[in-house]
Amino acid sequence: MKKSNKISTSPLISYETLLAQFQQLLRSNNLKFTKQRENILHAMYNHTGHFTPEELYRFIKSEHPELKTGIATIYRTLSLLENAGIVTSISFGTQGKKYELGVKAHHDHIICTNCGKILEFYDEAIEKRQEKIAKEFGFIMEDHSMKIFGICPQCQKK
């Protein structure tokens, strides 16, 4: 009955489904479906793994130069998507955040301090302990974040 850690890297839903989900979100909040928002969603769907707002900005700019999408729009759309649970982020302190399409289940991160690689894991035992600890302190748990830092196998070889 042992649960193993899993690494999920590819989107679990089709782009059409994701797009429909997004449009639904917009409609039900009286928000508008703009080219910029679609471009951002599309770029994220096709991009595996984590990225910074800046990286996304440069990518969008190169793919759709005619729209002159501003970085403010990137940030605004990323917030929108994060609040809606479509996208998730990891914080790196002063160095900012990295985002990824968040259609996946909850997970934590293990990060290489040398090359910056980010891997994901889910550990039932840790999840359980966290809930237990929150309960012991009388907290209503809302969220948690956990990051393990270290040197990845590839970087160890160098």
Which residues would be at the binding site for DNA (CB under 7 A)? 26, 30-37, 52-54, 67-73, 75-77, 79, 94-97
Total binding residues for a copy of itself by CB under 8 A?
A: 37
**How many other C-beta atoms are found inside a 10 Å radius of the C-beta of residue 78?**
19
CA nearest to 37, candidates 54, 19, 51, 50: 19
How far apart CA 29 and CA 145 sit, in angstroms, is: 29
Q: Residue 88 binds which entry of a copy of itself, DNA, none, with Cβ cut-offs from 5 to 8 Å by kind?
A: none
Binding string to a copy of itself for residues 86 to 125, with x set by CB under 8 A, is what?
-----x-xx-xx------------x-xx-----x-x-x-x
How far apart CA 52 and CA 110 sit, in angstroms, is: 17
Q: How many residues does the chain have?
A: 158
Q: Residue 76 binds which entry of a copy of itself, DNA, none, with Cβ cut-offs from 5 to 8 Å by kind?
A: DNA
**Range in contact with a copy of itself (rule: CB under 8 A) among 16-24, 28-36, 55-63, 143-151:** 143-151
- Contact flag: residue 138 with a copy of itself (CB under 8 A): yes
**How many other C-beta atoms are found inside a 10 Å radius of the C-beta of residue 39?**
20
